[in-house]
Structure 1
Amino acid sequence: MARILITDDAAFMRMQLKDIFTKLGHEVVGEAENGIVSIDKYKELKPDLVTMDITMPEMNGVEAVKQIKAIDPNAIIVMVSAMGQQEMVIEAIQAGAKDFIVKPFTQDRIQEALDKIF
């Protein structure tokens, strides 16, 4: 069972991800609505996995990945992006993200990403 921090500016996306992770037997330990909150919660909660939206107010996902990786080089981060954000996804992977999931996602795709990571 992984302890997960979900980062997305859309509350319904956080709810959808939380629902899927819970069904898959994982624990969602926190939620963040932007990169700045995500970094603070990462420090506080030390989750096993962070899901990171790319486009968010205050601080985008790519910048948050860089900062979280600077705090903890072993952090496991999976990007969750809309279609058409390939360049930012590539940038995030180069910054240290482990995988990416394209919205709209399915439970199967999330399980597949988790299987690759853990």
Structure 2
Amino acid sequence: MKYFIVEDDLNIVKILNKIIYDRTLGEVLGYSLDGATAFEEILNLKPDIVLVDLFIPEKDGISLVRDIAKNNSHIAFIMISQVSSKDMISKAYESGIEFYIQKPINAIEVQNVLQYVKEKLDNEHKLSEIKKLFNITEPNPKKTDIHDYENKLKSILQCIGIVGEIGTKDIISIIKYLINSNSSLSDYTIKEICQKFSNNPKTVEQRIRRAAIKGMINLAHLGIEDNLNYIFLEYSNGLYDFKEIRIEMDYIRGKGKNRGKVSIRKFIDGLIYYSKIQ
């Protein structure tokens, strides 16, 4: 697997480079300290995976990911930043990143994420080769059932073990509304979106939060059993803040007194993202 690093802190570049080589995860083709230079080098070198910081000189990480994705949709992006803003992280996922890793860098977390993305790319490549071998063509997306995302959404909720929770119905209703109205959760406060489905928005929010917390607890248990599990790696970072998942894992192990926290906004944004792309 070939990597390219975009980071304006040379020390971070060295740390990432060391993690990749020490754990035999692949080859680092190069690095860039700014977004403008990175754009040209990435298109020329064609790496499999790009590790990119959010705030870099000349062209920020989100813009860089979007621009490269227009030219090469086969590159996977992993964003690494100390930014914890839910809106910024949501925009990063919307731009096309696979994972968001928060600084300070944890070597084990980086290794797990890179191994997961590597396996995902390998599987996609094998699937592509099989389709070519048997001349299988992709279905026309225009003919795809517009409500197919609801089945995908339920499948995701089942994966994290909350499909039977009371708040699941509220979650599905909100996501259906946002997708069918072609709107975004960023257009509303949590209270405003909950008010569209009940005269008691606080109760709706509480039901959603309880369901989301149950999902986080289930993922934390799964991570303790197998931290390379596909479901754990995919959804612990895509639906939650991975740092909070780690806190919950420590609590379950008896190593911490605090429990992980849930962002409803990130949780719903993540579900919308996955229900559209899976």
Question: What TM-score comes out, normalization by structure 1 length?
Answer: 0.92
Structure 2 equivalent of residue 24 of structure 1:
23
More helix by percentage: 2
**1:4-24: per-residue Cα shift (whole Å, max 9, x none)?**
100001111111111111112
Note if contact 1:62-1:88 (Cα within 8 Å) is conserved in structure 2. no
SS of the aligned residue for 2:28 comes to strand
SS of the aligned residue for 1:56 comes to coil
In structure 2, relative to structure 1, the CA distance for the partners of 1:31 and 1:110 (3 Å cut) is same
Pairwise CA distance, 1:114 = 1.5
Name structure 1 gaps, 5 residues minimum. none
Pairwise CA distance, 1:86 = 3.3
More strand by percentage: 1
Distance in 2, Cα, partners of 1:95 & 1:49: 15
How do 1:94-109 residues align onto structure 2 when only pairs under 5 Å count? 94-109=94-109
Name structure 2 gaps, 5 residues minimum. 119-278
**1:51-105: per-residue Cα shift (whole Å, max 9, x none)?**
0100111111000000110111121000001042432222111111111111111
Q: What's the % identity of the aligned pairs? A: 25
Structure 1 equivalent of residue 53 of structure 2:
53
SS of the aligned residue for 1:84 comes to coil
For the pair shown, which has the larger CA radius of gyration, 1 or 2? 2
Give me the CA root mean square deviation. 1.2
The 10-residue stretch of structure 1 (3-12 or 106-115) with the greater mean CA deviation from structure 2: 106-115
Distance in 2, Cα, partners of 1:9 & 1:58: 11
Specify which structure has the bigger relative contact order, considering alpha-carbon pairs within 8 angstroms and separated by 6 or more residues.
Answer: 1
